[in-house]
Amino acid sequence: MIPAGPTKRNGPATRIPEATHVETAVEYLRKEQKRHLDELIELCKIPSISTKPDHADDVRRAVEWTRDKCRSAGLTAEIHETGGHPLVYAEWCGAGDDAPTYLVYGHVDVQPEGDLKLWDAGPFEPTRTGDWLVCRGSADDKGQVLLYVRAAEAWLQTEGRLPINLKLLIEAEEEIGSPHLEPFIREHAALLKCDGILISDTGLARDGQPAITRGTRGMVYKEVFLSGPKHDLHSGQFGGAVQNPANALAAMIAALHDDDNRVTIPGFYDDVVDPTEEDRAQIRALGIDDEQFAADLGVPALWEGERGYTAQERRSIRPTLDVNGLTSGFQGQGANTIIPARASAKLSMRLVPNQNAAKISKAFDAHIRGLCPPGVRMKLTTHGAEADAYVTPSDHPALRAAVRGLREAFDQEPVQLREGGSLPILPMFKEALGADCVLLGFASPNCNAHGPNEKVNLPDLDRGAEAIARLFAHLAAS
Amino acid sequence: MIPAGPTKRNGPATRIPEATHVETAVEYLRKEQKRHLDELIELCKIPSISTKPDHADDVRRAVEWTRDKCRSAGLTAEIHETGGHPLVYAEWCGAGDDAPTYLVYGHVDVQPEGDLKLWDAGPFEPTRTGDWLVCRGSADDKGQVLLYVRAAEAWLQTEGRLPINLKLLIEAEEEIGSPHLEPFIREHAALLKCDGILISDTGLARDGQPAITRGTRGMVYKEVFLSGPKHDLHSGQFGGAVQNPANALAAMIAALHDDDNRVTIPGFYDDVVDPTEEDRAQIRALGIDDEQFAADLGVPALWEGERGYTAQERRSIRPTLDVNGLTSGFQGQGANTIIPARASAKLSMRLVPNQNAAKISKAFDAHIRGLCPPGVRMKLTTHGAEADAYVTPSDHPALRAAVRGLREAFDQEPVQLREGGSLPILPMFKEALGADCVLLGFASPNCNAHGPNEKVNLPDLDRGAEAIARLFAHLAAS
């Protein structure tokens, strides 16, 4: 159920003098740290694994718990049914029409626990280890979602109001690809109308070092199936006469990069905007030591990659094409002398801002068809949605407000990251609501999200709650 | 146990006037066809599957049955223990020192039955269907081994002697790669001394069309393992910075052929003797219709392959390099966005006469190492023995004798084939005994050896026995 009526409620329209009020809210947060931790532990105990149908009730419990917590914080909150797991919509829109309106997006569903033997304690038995809370969902994304509830509560309980109009959209299907999120957003575009979107589902640059994730890459994922003879052939009797699908596939994949390690798909780079000196400076500022980076990954050397760009640029602000899987012929132990009947490859491209995923997808298909030799047949599949890259505009007011909030709470200048992965919801939000996203994350780089012993650093979480409380004030002033 | 003493026994040294005596032997064969078929059925009922340890007793039974059959045919015969399954050595060496001595090689072990649902009757319940006997081992190689026993019996029962000294080496480990054959041959080189070796473990060119397999290709089989990062990486976070082992492997495989589809390994073609016009004429004489050939295999077109050679030449008298298997990354349904930690390929090369397998093996290793980029580590494995190609010398007396025997028995000129597959025992026999092999086979091209419903054409078998009885006479006269 969604509250009916206008999304901006009446209320005092005067600006709040931030300097005084925010300190009261921050003081409240500090006092309530212990209780807020207990609440996080409560939520983490619920095994809200969205991929497992037998955990559907747990997912619902986590959603209900979140609704109740929003209400006790002083927000209005309702559960909304979708075709799958329900979601929570909460808001406090009493800051008036002159105040900006921000939408928070997060999720309370979690990944499966994986191999239980790899966990030191039960994955849903939150365990305190020094400054850390170990538990599935502690970092991704329960701990981070609750920061907004804590910050809202701090303002509402101390000042009786928020400096901005705040909307929260907390779903429970993120770990299964958010199948019902986009339809919900499109259907409720008026309700969700906002000046910007705040998301905390990313991480710090390193422990204690705040970061804003400025952009993500887009993605197109393809699978190429080649078939040759109707069944595997004796490589002695037919080798030389018959096009070997595995050899053909290797040649086709090899032809997707040129000698400068640039992707050969015609038009692939046409719309790519060259990184600005600022983009490159931000990456240099991260100060990643390539040698240490290679050693940590266990590779003998980093890839020489696309000529003209550093490894750290190539993994974040340049488009790439990678094979994700290869399958053909005999894969057992030892030798089997066959010409395989079939060979297939999974391939994905990471795209950068201004590249159009749909256009790249078509260009890939045409290019790979042209590379397919006459002796084999080809079938092409696209997996998942074609997602564009996304970058937060550098002049977005929430970006400046987030920088200030993070700086004050962490006593450190936040760095701005460009993330190489893909978050299809970012361009989707932009397209459906016309609003930009600001990503400020508080998970540790070694939080082990999706893995065993997922954990969150509690002092970082506490600083995160403070950063968000301060961010609200800066947004009001922006 | 092997009979001690000299391998050539005393006996009348006069040449047998072939024209009269061979017809008596052939007449005997025709009279005894029904009994010989019953004997084949008896042997085929024994499930002598050498790959399955629980069939070891059956394998021994088949070997004992063969020894007994050789004895009842008039040969001396003994079973010899090896480290694995036993073998039979039989002989009749009473033709005198002036007569040539020929060694027959064959095997009485069989492939597993495979999927029983694909068989019309039990794989070890020989079934007569028109001119065909359907049963595992009927074509490969029990039916063909017995032709020599039948022909020897015909001579010994009608003339009391053979026109040549005959030795039979019948093993029971062929389907597991003959692990104990070479040691046995080297240890018993004096016993096995001969002027040539006769092998019937190949096929007719088509039903009713006799063929001599003049040569086989050699083989070198490699597996290339690439490893990059210590575990699979997120392709978004690391794509561009890290060398993708699957992409690298594809590029390395692609680089193994040039634009003319020639293998790029330095020195690969150095020792290749260009086919003679006669070699090429023999292949043309087979009259294989490439379009029909492609249609039968289910490929949209034959490979364009090495420039300057026809498809039928490329699959028999030219060296090749084929991928036999590819493995990397995510192979399940759908998408998984990883940079795989590992990628591997099984690759084999078929070699032609005068190429040295050991030299090619080394050249491959050096070449592939040179192709391996710095961002991945490589490991190389060689599977199986490195086998040279083999070609029966065109002036071998047994070749001419076989042509005559086949021509007379089949009333058709035999064709000479170059087989693209590999038979490592041929160069091994040559090296260990200094003797050449002549391969005359009687299996139908669609006999389905190793597959379900393996079958043999009985009239072709009967003509085969006659051809061998006549071959004995022609060998004596050669």
Contact residues on chain A for B330, CB-CB shorter than 8 A:
324-325, 346
Query: Tens digits of per-residue pLDDT, A270-329?
Result: 999 988 998 899 899 888 999 999 999 999 999 999 999 999 999 999 999 999 999 999
Q: Are B197 and B104 in contact (CB under 8 A)?
A: yes
Kindly state whether residue A306 falls inside one of the protein's structural domains: no
Structure confidence at residue B42 (pLDDT): 98
Q: Taking CA atoms, what residue in B is nearest to A351?
A: B236
Give the pLDDT band of residue A13 (cuts 50, 70, 90): very low
How close is the nearest chain A Cα to the Cα of B244, in Å?
7
Domain identity same for A50 and A73? yes
For residue A2, is it within any domain?
no
Q: What are phi and psi of A389, to 5 degrees?
A: -70, 170
**Across the interface, which of A230, A305, A324 has its CB nearest the CB of B329?**
A324
Average pLDDT over every residue of B61-66? 98
**Residues A34 and A108 occupy one common structural domain:** yes
Distance, in Å, from the CA atom of B93 to the CA atom of B163, rounded to the nearest integer, reads 10
- Domains in chain A: how many in total? 2
Q: Residue A421: CB partners within 8 Å, gap ≥ 6?
A: A216, A217, A350, B234, B236, B237, B337
Nearest chain B CA: its distance from A32 CA (Å): 36
The rounded distance, in Å, linking the Cα atoms of A70 and A166 is: 12
Residues of chain B with pLDDT > 70, as a percent, come to: 96
Could you tell me if residue A341 is inside a domain? yes
Rounded CA separation A145/A199 (Å): 9
Strand pairing partners for A106?
A: A170
Q: Give residue A9's pLDDT.
A: 40
Q: Chain A 294-353, CB below 8 Å of chain B: which residues?
A: 297-306, 311-316, 318, 320-331, 334-340, 343, 345-346, 348, 350
User: Count of residues for chain A?
Assistant: 478
Nearest C-alpha neighbor of B184 from the set B391, B435, B434, B429: B429
Q: CA nearest B150: which of B137, B134, B136, B166?
A: B166
What chain A residue is nearest to B337 in terms of C-alpha separation?
A324
Q: Taking all residues of chain A, what is their mean pLDDT, rounded to a whole number?
A: 93
How many angstroms away from the CA of B310 is the closest CA of chain A?
Answer: 8
Three-class SS of residue A174?
Answer: helix
Going by the DSSP 8-state scheme, the letter that residue A163 receives in this structure is S
Q: Is the same domain home to B223 and B332?
A: yes
Q: What is the C-alpha separation between B398 and B18, in angstroms, rounded?
A: 16
Q: What is the three-class DSSP state of A21?
A: helix
Residue B317: its pLDDT value, please? 94
Averaged pLDDT of chain B: 93
Regarding whether A380 and A406 lie in a shared domain, the answer is no
Residues B171 and B160 in one domain: yes
**Identity of the residue in A298, A324, A335 whose CB atom sits nearest the CB atom of B230:** A298
The pLDDT tens digits of the residues spanning A423-477 come to: 999 999 999 999 999 999 999 988 988 889 999 999 999 999 999 999 999 999 8
> What gap in Å lies between CA A32 and CA A365, rounded to an integer?
56
Nearest to B254 among A242, A250, A419 (CB): A250
Domain residues for B338? 218-272+319-387
**Smallest Cα distance from B404 to chain A, Å:** 27
Residues B35 and B173 in one domain: yes
Beta carbons of A300 and B244 less than 8 Å apart: no
Question: Rounded to an integer, what distance in angstroms lies between the CA atom of residue A471 and that of residue A465?
Answer: 10
The CATH number for B252's domain is 3.30.70.360
Measured between its terminal Cα atoms, the distance across chain B in Å is 32
Contact B343 A326 (CB under 8 A): yes
d(CA B463, CA B204): 12
Tell me: pLDDT of A104 over 50.
yes
pLDDT above 70 coverage of chain A, percent? 96
- Cβ–Cβ of B236/A350 closer than 8 Å? yes
Residue B295 inside a domain? The answer is no
- Assigned domain for B306 exists: no
A21-64 tens-digit pLDDT: 899 999 999 999 999 999 999 999 999 999 999 999 999 999 99
Do A344 and A265 belong together in one domain? yes
Q: Considering A387, A407, A439, which residue would you say is the last residue of a domain?
A: A387
Q: Do A243 and B303 lie within an 8 Å CB cutoff? A: yes
Structural domain includes residue A151: yes
pLDDT in tens, B205-217: 988 899 999 999 9
CA dihedral B343, B346, B351, B356 (to 10 degrees): 70
pLDDT given at position A89: 98
**Nearest-CA residue of chain A relative to B263?**
A240
Q: Average pLDDT, stretch B241-268? A: 98
Position B30 scores a pLDDT of: 97
> Is A233 found in the same domain as A127?
no
Asked if residues A335 and B221 have their Cβ atoms less than 8 Å apart, the reply is: yes
Residues 6+ apart with CB under 8 A from B430: B390, B436, B437
**B238: Cα within 13 Å, side-chain hemisphere:** 28
Which phi and psi angles does B201 have, rounded to 5°? -140, 20
Whether B288 and chain A come into contact, CB under 8 Å, resolves to: no
Distance CA B12, CA B99 (A): 10
Of B247, B311, B326, which is closest to A322 when you measure between CB atoms? B247
Residues A256 and A115 in one domain: no
| Whether residue B224 is found in the same domain as residue B372 | yes
Per residue in B124-156, pLDDT (tens digit) is 999 999 999 999 999 999 999 999 999 999 999
My answer on whether B49 and B195 are in the same domain is yes
The encoded tokens of residue A35 equal 């209780």
Is A190 near chain B, with CB under 8 Å?
no
- A465 vs B95: CA distance, rounded Å: 103
Q: What's the Cα-to-Cα distance from A105 to each of A166, A473, B132, rounded to whole Å? A: 11, 19, 74
Tell me if A6 is assigned to some domain.
Answer: no
Domain termination residue (choose one: B366, B387, B408): B387
Which of A219, A222, A242 best tests the B interface by mutation, with the highest count of B CBs <10 A? Answer: A242
B140: tokens are 């490969």
What confidence score (pLDDT) does residue B20 get? Answer: 64
pLDDT at B2 over 80: no
Q: What's the CA gap between A366 and A353, in Å, rounded?
A: 22
The verdict on a CB contact (< 8 Å) between A240 and B420 is yes
Residue B1 pLDDT exceeds 60: no
Contacts of residue B270, Cβ cutoff 8 Å, sequence gap at least 6 = none
Look-up: residue for tokens 């609501």?
A433
> With an 8 Å Cβ cutoff, are A299 and B243 in contact?
yes
Q: Is A44 exposed, middle or buried (0-12, 13-18, 19+ CB in 10 A)?
A: buried
- Can you give the CATH number for the domain in which A116 is found? 3.40.630.10
Helices (H) and strands (E) in chain A, counts: 14, 18
Q: What is the pLDDT of residue A12?
A: 46
In this prediction the ipTM stands at 0.86
Interchain contact, B257 vs A243, CB within 8 Å: no
Q: Inspect the interface and report whether the beta carbons of A346 and B339 lie closer than 8 Å.
A: no
Contact, A204 vs A391, CB < 8 A? no
Query: What CA dihedral angle connects B134, B137, B143 and B146, to 10 degrees?
Result: -140
Q: How confident is the model at residue B97 (pLDDT cuts 50, 70, 90)?
A: very high
Considering the domain boundaries, does residue A132 fall inside one?
yes
Quick one: average pLDDT of B56-79?
A: 98
Indicate whether B64 and B180 sit together in one domain.
Answer: yes
- Residue B251's pLDDT is 98
Kindly state the helix (H) or strand (E) to which residue A169 belongs, with its residue range: strand A165-171
Is A11 a residue whose pLDDT tops 70? no
Whole-number Å distance between alpha carbons of B188 and A138:
74
Interface subset of A 122-161, CB within 8 angstroms of B = none
Report phi then psi at A366, rounded to 5: -65, -40
Domain boundary among B387, B416, B433: B387
